[in-house]
Every structure is written in structure tokens, then in C-alpha cells.
Amino acid sequence: MSTIATPLPEGPLAWKLPYGGKVGMACLIIAESAIFTIFVVAYLFYIGKSLSGPTPREVLETPIFYTICLLSSSLTVHFAGKFLERGSRAAFLVLWLLTIVLGGLFLYGTGQEWHRLIYEHGLTISTNLFGTTYYSLVGLHAFHVTAGLTMLTIVLVFGLAGRVGPEQSARVDVLSLYWHFVDAVWVVVFSVVYVLGR
């Protein structure tokens, strides 16, 4: 008796719910935003509270070029997705590669800035509160850029192997949603660290 399922009416086919991948990524973005919020709050709270130098005003230089790189990579990843949807794989691959190059340039910019701060100004994560909050916030963002670049590269490898077609377009869109998020976070980090923080 217990092995028989109670019969229920079966479902019609006309029943459309949102694509799970996109909803999942949206949830991840909410969770990640909460993490970044805490780091941003800590940064804002500690502006000007360092007991010793160097201060942001003395050592930080606004990374205009690398910011343009990162923000324009949002455009390239968006249009790459559009091209994939329409089935033009070559255009997709070119724009996708361009996205990776722009993201890579941004990471290089962060590395260069850190190198300058450490070797020229002697600012490390343990120097003062500015160092602690700066390296953690910018580092957390750079970590997310690195994670994004890794995933973009995996898609590129599959794309070069000819395995990414229009049928994967929805999945590719999920990844580009993450990449847009990484860019949007940079807008906040940039405003907090390079504009408000000085």
C-alpha cells in the first residue's frame, strides 16, 4: 500500500518560471554585496583614524586608465554575449578575449600600485589602519576579479575548442552577470578609496 503514490493531476506544459542560473547568480551577488558592504563600512569608519602615516592623501594615485579598462570590459562581455546569442561565434570569441585582456590589465594595474606602495612608501597591511583597510578592500575586489578571469578563461578555452554555441548563451549570460557585478563593486571601491578616502 505504501508503495503506491497517490494519483495527482499531471501538469500542463504552459508554465514558465525564471531561469535558475540567473536567479542563483542574483542570490550570490546579494550575498557578496553584503560581504563588500562590511568591508566598505570598515574602510569608511577608519578614514583618518590611523595613528601613523602614510596617509591616503600622500600615497594614493587615482588609477584612471585601469578603471577605464575594467569598466569597458563590461561592455565587451555584454556584446560578446549578444553575438553568441545571434550565433556569430568568431565575434563572440574576439570580444571575450578582449574582456579577459582588459580584466588582466586591471589586475596588472592593481599589482603595480601595490608594488609602488610597498617598495616606495613602505605601506603594508600591518603599517597602520589605512594599510589594513586598503589592502583588504582592494584585495577582496582583486580576488573577485581573479575568480572572474579564471571562469572567463575556462569559457574561452571551451570556445576555442568550438564547444560554446548559441545554446550555451543563457549560461554565458550568468557569467557575464557576475562580471558586471565585479565592475559595479569597483565603482563603489573607487569612490570610497580614491575619492572619499582622500
Shortest Cβ distance from residue 49 to other proteins (Å)?
5
Minimum CB separation of residue 94 from other proteins in Å reads 32
Q: Name the nearest CA neighbour of 57 among 134, 164, 147, 162.
A: 134
Considering the complex, state which of residue 12 and residue 162 has its C-beta at the smaller distance from other proteins. 12
Which CB, 137 or 155, lies closer to other proteins?
137
Distance of CA 93 to the CA centre of its chain: 20
CA distances from 50 to 21, 87, 198 (A): 43, 54, 13
Q: C-alpha grid cell for residue 64?
A: 584612471
User: Which residue's CB is nearer to other proteins, number 104 or number 139?
Assistant: 139
CB of 98 to other proteins, least distance (A): 30
Task: Summarize as ranges the residues that interact with other proteins (CB under 8 A).
Answer: 1-12, 14-15, 17-20, 23-24, 27-28, 30-32, 34-39, 42, 45-46, 49-51, 125-126, 128-129, 132-133, 136, 140
Minimum Å gap between C-beta 41 and other proteins is: 8
What's the CA angle centered on 177, arms 171 and 179, to 5 degrees? 110
Q: What is the DSSP letter of 166?
A: G
- The least distance separating other proteins from the CB of residue 43, rounded to whole angstroms, comes to 10
* CA atoms 8, 10, 16, 20: torsion sign: positive
The answer for residues whose C-beta is within 8 angstroms of residue 173's C-beta and 6 or more apart is 22, 81
Nearer to other proteins, 24 or 165 (CB): 24
Contact 46, 137 (CB under 8 A): no
Nearer to other proteins, 17 or 161 (CB): 17
